[in-house]
Amino acid sequence: MPDARRARRLVRRIVTSVIVVVVGLVTSGTMLAAVGSHGGKDKLGSRSGAVPLHHRAGVWQGWSLKVTAVKLHSFQLLGKSPKETPAGRQDAMVSLSVRYGGAGYGNFRVLLRRLYVSGGSSSTNYRADGGDLNCATARGVPSATPLNERSTLVFAGHYARGHLCFLIPRVDAKMLALYVDKPGCNTAGPGADNCEHWRKFALRP
């Protein structure tokens, strides 16, 4: 009998130890998941770092974004006709893959209002060209309608793919990056920066 009691006590101690280890692992995994999903304090896409080219990262409200290609010296179009780029400027063509993972569907135009590029030589932000303005990878090559001029409803689990055109000063091209503000941020103009959370996407390897 004493041997049986000792055996039962040993089994209980082993079972208790296993339960403690499992609970600890589950708790740690939950905490890591919470840190990894935070919108702006993590290193990836925060002030201190950028999401690498060709990598997807979540932004906010169910959206995720990947920069698939960049043509810093694209050719500006007005409708389907070539347009002379202003002196000291160049048109940057940024191709994107946008995914919506929220409920129902999302309107990409909501995200576009918070999406812009910025260079390193000034604090100026540049919004995507609109209206009849477009850009192409080569002179005389047709170009699809930019993302911001198309139907932009994206249903859950689906993607929108296309490009945006940004007219930028040449001096900003080397340090150019794409940003997506967190909802409620305002970085639209000088002195308007109250945004501490954003996703930053590299436009160079």
pLDDT digits (tens, 9 = 90+) for 130-174: 989 999 999 888 899 999 998 889 999 999 999 999 999 998 888
What is the token pair recorded at 124? 């100026």
Instruction: Answer whether 160's CB lies under 8 Å from 152's CB.
Output: yes
Q: What is the mean pLDDT of the chain?
A: 77
Cα–Cα distance list, 168 to 60, 138, 165, 197 (Å): 26, 18, 10, 24
User: Which pLDDT value is given to residue 39?
Assistant: 35
pLDDT of residue 28: 36
Question: What does the domain layout of the chain look like in residue ranges?
Answer: 1-37, 56-202
pLDDT at 187 over 50: yes
Cα separation, 54 vs 65, in Å, equals 10
Residue 181's pLDDT is what? 83
Q: What is the pLDDT of residue 27?
A: 35
Can you say how many angstroms the Cα of residue 187 is from the centroid of all Cα atoms in its chain?
16
Instruction: Please give the helix or strand (H or E) that residue 17 lies within, else none.
Output: helix 2-36
Query: CB of 91 within 8 A of CB of 166?
Result: yes
pLDDT tens sequence across 6-34: 556 654 665 455 443 333 433 333 322 22
Whether the pLDDT of residue 190 is over 70: the answer is no
Strand partners, 159: 99
Higher-pLDDT residue of 47 and 77 is: 77
pLDDT for the residue 37: 29
Phi-psi region of 132 (alpha: psi -120 to 50; beta: other; left: phi over 0): alpha
- Please list, in sequence order, all residues whose beta carbon lies within 8 angstroms of the beta carbon of residue 45, skipping any fewer than 6 positions away: 51, 57, 198, 199, 200, 201
As a whole number of angstroms, the distance between CA 12 and CA 28 comes to 24
Which pLDDT score is estimated for 60? 86
CATH code for the part of the protein at 56-202: 2.60.40.1240
In the chain, the percentage of residues whose pLDDT exceeds 90 is 42
Q: Judge contact between 26 and 178, C-beta under 8 A.
A: no
CB atoms within 10 A of CB 120: 12
- pLDDT at position 182 is 78
* pLDDT number for residue 114: 86
Structure confidence at residue 25 (pLDDT): 36
Mean pLDDT over 102-115 rounds to 88
